Structure formats: C-alpha cells, structure tokens
Amino acid sequence: MKRDLISLRDLNKKEIIFLFKKTKELKKIFKKKKILNLLKGRIGVLIFEKPSLRTRVTFETALKQLGGDSIYLSPQDIQMGKRESIKDVAQNLSRWVDLIIVRTFSHNITKELKEYSAIPIINALDDYEHPCQALADYYTIWERESNIERIKLGFIGDGNNVCHSLMLGAKILGINMIVATPKNYEPDKEIIEFSKDKVILTNDPKEVVKECDYIYTDVWVSMGQENEKEKRIRDFQGFQINSELLKLAKKDYKIMHCLPAHRGEEITDEILDSKNSIVLDQAENRLHIQRTLILYLLNLIKFRSSIKK
C-alpha cells in the first residue's frame, strides 16, 4: 500500500518513535561518510515552488547518500497548475520516478498530488503544514531527553504552518505545549481542536518563557506575506526572543528556530547564536530524519516498535 507524508497525522506515535530510533542508528553510520546503496536505481523528484536551502540540500543529500538520485524542478520548469494540471504532473511522474517531494504554497496542491500519484508524496512544506520540520524538531528534542513526554515546548510567534505541525506532534507524542501569538494570528481552528488537550493558547509570550523547557520561534513574515510586512512587524512587537524576555526563563532553556531567521526581528543575534541555541542541530537533523522517512515510505525499512533507544 502506498504511504505518503502530507501531514504529521499520517503517522502515529509508535511509528514516529520507530523513525526516531531508526534515525539514531542510521545517523551513526552516515556520520562515518558511508553510502548505502539502498536506493540504487531509484529517483526522487523535488517539485519546489518556493526557494529553499535546508529542504533542498537535505533531501538531495539524503537520496544520494542512500545510493539514489534526484531531479529538481523549479516553478519555471513545469508551471504546475498552469502549463500542466496537477493531476497530469502526478500521473506522469508516477510512470518515471519513485518519489515526489513537494514544496509549495497551497495545501490543496499537496493533497491533489497525493490523490493522483501512484508513488509516495512527501510534503516538504506548504502553507498549512511543515511535517518534515516538525519531525526533525521532535527528533532533536528526543535525542536529549530520556522521556520526551516530560518536557514542555513553547512556541512564540505566528500560528503558521510550522506551529501547526508542532501542535499536531505535541498531540500525537503526548507533549504539553504552549503557543503564544498576537491576537488574530492564532493557529487554524481545526488544528486547535485536534490538539486542545495538549496545547494551551495565549497572547502573552511571558507565559511561554516562564514555563517551557524548549522555546521555539519562527519568522513573522513568511514567503508570500511580504506585502504584510509593515503591519506584521507592528503587530508582533513584544514577541521577539531576546535577553530581556529570557530573564524569565528556566536556567537550562533551549532555543529552537526552523530557519531561515530574520535576525533582529523575531530573535536577536545574541540569542540565536547563544550556547542555549540548538538551531543548527535542528537543521542537521532534517537530513537524518528525512533519510529515514524516505526509506520508510518506499517500504525499505519495516515498522518495528522494539528497537532499543
């Protein structure tokens, strides 16, 4: 049966923990610069309608480290939905390659690709979710914690796609989370309803800093929102992660950011580059978790819940 990752809800808790354990095993192997020919003769296509550093490099690297190959398609290459319908793109690619990795604007595009594709689809970001980022983030926390359910995660900023996937992950993994947004920037109501017993919403970032072990932020102005920049900068005043706000934090707090960061807006240089920051670990772990995910969706590793941590 074809498996996709469109939403974090495509995985259950046991599967996510299995992926974490398998990622830990494979990470040790690939740290030695080894290549496993598990994908020999297989090709993944990257359909990217948004610019990218981490997502493109980590997926292409993962495919090549596994012995496979990649094809990158920019917006100008296929003009999906304009020059050619999404249905036709999905059905044609299904005849040629083994995996589609899509980074787009509309969640409906991601879902339509899934509907018409005979091969696995990975949502590498759309405006509603960013499941690969959330998997890497929770893996980064899991590497550090003997019991991930004991920690409290805080998110300060826009209730955007990253926030959505983190909230879904909190619900699935059993983690308590506090989300602080300005008024009118709250997460989607459907995400709130799904995660309501694990996620608390507030409009006060101080509540997050006082209570949470891991403090996460993201840009205030995402791709496609550039015309709202001045308004958003005004509305998010008081939500910057800086040394003054963090005076209220626990001594051993950790700072998280999905990157790219708008330094001096949602977070200061001092905090982003501090010893408490684990943002580069998050970025590195995009590669490691996505490598495992590719193998899982291609049915090259089988789910086993008994792998030791």
**Is 133 annotated in the active site?**
yes
Residue 304 lies in a domain: no
pLDDT at 302: 87
Model confidence pLDDT, tens digit, residues 54-78: 999 999 999 999 999 999 999 889 8
pLDDT at 307: 44
Of 180, 59, 207, residue with least CA distance to 122? 59
Catalytic residue among 133, 240, 282, 290: 133
Catalytic residue among 54, 286, 288, 291: 286
Q: What is the CATH number of the domain that holds 83?
A: 3.40.50.1370
pLDDT at 82: 86
Catalytic residue among 65, 218, 288, 291: 218
Model confidence pLDDT, tens digit, residues 95-112: 999 999 999 999 999 999
Do 162 and 274 belong together in one domain?
Answer: yes
Q: Which residues is 44 bridged to in the sheet?
A: 70, 99
Residue 109 structure tokens: 């595009």
Q: If DSSP codes are grouped into helix, strand and coil, which group holds residue 286?
A: helix
Query: How many residues are present in the chain?
Result: 309
Residue 308 lies in a domain: no
Model confidence pLDDT, tens digit, residues 1-35: 899 999 999 999 999 999 999 999 999 999 887 77
Number of domains observed in the structure of the chain: 2
Do 24 and 101 belong together in one domain?
Answer: yes
pLDDT at 309: 47
Do 124 and 162 belong together in one domain?
Answer: no
pLDDT at 34: 76
In this predicted structure, the answer to whether residue 306 has a pLDDT above a threshold of 70 is: no
pLDDT at 179: 98
Do 44 and 125 belong together in one domain?
Answer: yes
Catalytic residue among 130, 257, 288, 291: 130
Please say whether the beta carbons of 170 and 194 come within 8 A: no
Do 116 and 176 belong together in one domain?
Answer: no
Per-residue DSSP letter, 151: -
Considering only the C-alpha atoms of the chain, give the largest distance between any 2 of them, rounded to a whole number of Å. 56
Q: What percent of the chain has pLDDT over 90?
A: 90
Do 85 and 188 belong together in one domain?
Answer: no
pLDDT at 91: 98
**Is 107 annotated in the active site?**
no
pLDDT at 209: 98
Do 115 and 40 belong together in one domain?
Answer: yes
**Is 258 annotated in the active site?**
yes
**Is 262 annotated in the active site?**
no
Catalytic residue among 54, 103, 232, 291: 103
Model confidence pLDDT, tens digit, residues 197-250: 999 999 999 999 999 999 999 999 987 788 889 999 999 999 999 999 999 999
Residue 212 lies in a domain: yes
- Tell me the residue range of the domain where 184 lies: 131-282
Q: What percent of the chain has pLDDT over 70?
A: 98
In this predicted structure, the answer to whether residue 88 has a pLDDT above a threshold of 70 is: yes
Do 136 and 125 belong together in one domain?
Answer: no
Helices (H), the chain: 13-30, 54-65, 75-78, 86-96, 107-116, 131-144, 161-173, 189-194, 205-211, 229-235, 269-272, 279-297
Do 205 and 292 belong together in one domain?
Answer: no
Model confidence pLDDT, tens digit, residues 126-140: 999 999 999 999 999
In this predicted structure, the answer to whether residue 253 has a pLDDT above a threshold of 80 is: yes
In this predicted structure, the answer to whether residue 194 has a pLDDT above a threshold of 60 is: yes
pLDDT at 110: 97
Catalytic residue among 163, 258, 290, 291: 258
